[in-house]
């Protein structure tokens, strides 16, 4: 399928505006995996209001417009201080209502391993409370 066809198909699908789009760097480290799993769980728990946004897609101009048009608020989570998601968003012009860099926020080092259940839960609770805060403000 060619690019124009894919673009047209995507434009033909009527997207509803989400209360919140969540973007995460999907980093290959404990906090990155925990954040990815937390975002999936939060989407599963709130399918009508929340969705994971496609972070790499922000470099495609028409996708960026669609992302902004279809979301009331946006949160971006980076797992470590390299802040890849932040840099990509900044370069593409994606604005967010809340930004979290997890190693600083949680006072933890980047560890290149699968997260424990405890860490997954801690990251989930942190992102969940940030989202609840965004919903009331």
Contact 105, 127 (CB under 8 A): no
Q: Is 79 in the site for ligand SF4 (CB under 6 A)?
A: yes
CA 63 to mean position of chain CA atoms: 15
Determine the interface stretch with ligand SF4 among 41-49, 57-65, 74-82, 112-120 (rule: CB under 6 A): 74-82
Determine the interface stretch with ligand SF4 among 8-16, 24-32, 56-64, 122-130 (rule: CB under 6 A): 24-32
The one among 20, 21, 22, 25 contacting ligand SF4 by CB under 6 A:
25
**Would you call 50 helix, strand, or coil by DSSP?**
strand
The sheet with strand 98-101 has its strands ordered as 50-52, 18-24, 71-78, 98-101
Q: Which residue ranges make up the site for ligand SF4 (CB under 6 A)? A: 25, 27, 29, 32, 78-80, 82-84
């Amino acid at each position: 399928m060619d690019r124009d066809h894919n673009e047209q198909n995507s434009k033909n699908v009527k997207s509803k505006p989400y209360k919140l789009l969540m973007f995460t760097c999907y980093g290959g480290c404990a906090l990155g995996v925990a954040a990815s799993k937390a975002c999936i769980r939060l989407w599963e728990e709130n399918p009508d209001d929340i969705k994971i946004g496609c972070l790499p897609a922000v470099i495609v101009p028409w996708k960026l417009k669609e992302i902004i048009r279809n979301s009331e608020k946006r949160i971006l989570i980076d797992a470590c201080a390299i802040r890849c998601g932040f840099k990509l968003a900044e370069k593409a012009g994606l604005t967010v209502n809340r930004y979290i860099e997890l190693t600083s926020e949680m006072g933890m080092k980047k560890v290149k391993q699968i997260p424990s259940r405890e860490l997954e839960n801690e990251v989930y609770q942190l992102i969940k409370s940030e989202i609840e805060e965004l919903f009331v403000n």
